[in-house]
Amino acid sequence: MFITWACFFHIEGGIHKNQAYFATLRHIGLGAFASWLSALLVINNPFSGAMAAQLWAPLLIAAVIAVLMRLSVINEYSVTPAIVYGYASIWAFLSVPGLLNQQTLLSLSFENAILAIGFCVVLGASAGYINAIMVSWLCKLHFKLN
């Protein structure tokens, strides 16, 4: 939630709160979804050879990150750090023992990383939006009093 709140302001939420709200959801959501899919692909490693099996996860993750970075040329996905934060948040969540398995990743519970992180992203962006409204209100109040 905190990372999403910070990204909201990184994407100019203090100035353009409506645009920043949806941009935050779009950027972090893309990174989180790509990460969740990466986790499923890592679990379902198609290679059986020792060397190929060992290289599968790092090469897959590197390729996905490269594609996500390349999306920065599209204006709707130009805030690369926010995408990476979304990507990293899923892996951080999956570092909890017992959560990196297909059954959990496909479950309809908050043990499923995409559902838990998705919920937190919406809460974080909403908190940023409310924070921006409060700051704007306090600034107006301050200038009225002075």
- Tell me the pLDDT tens digit for each residue of 61-71: 999 999 999 99
Q: At which residue do the structure tokens 């939006």 appear?
A: 129
pLDDT beyond 90 at 51: no
CA distance 81 to 83: 5
- Tell me the pLDDT tens digit for each residue of 99-129: 999 999 999 999 999 999 999 999 999 999 9
Q: At which residue do the structure tokens 């479950």 appear?
A: 107
Range with the lowest mean pLDDT among 43-52, 88-97, 104-113?
43-52
pLDDT at position 52, please? Answer: 82
**pTM of the full predicted structure?**
0.88
pLDDT at position 49, please? Answer: 81
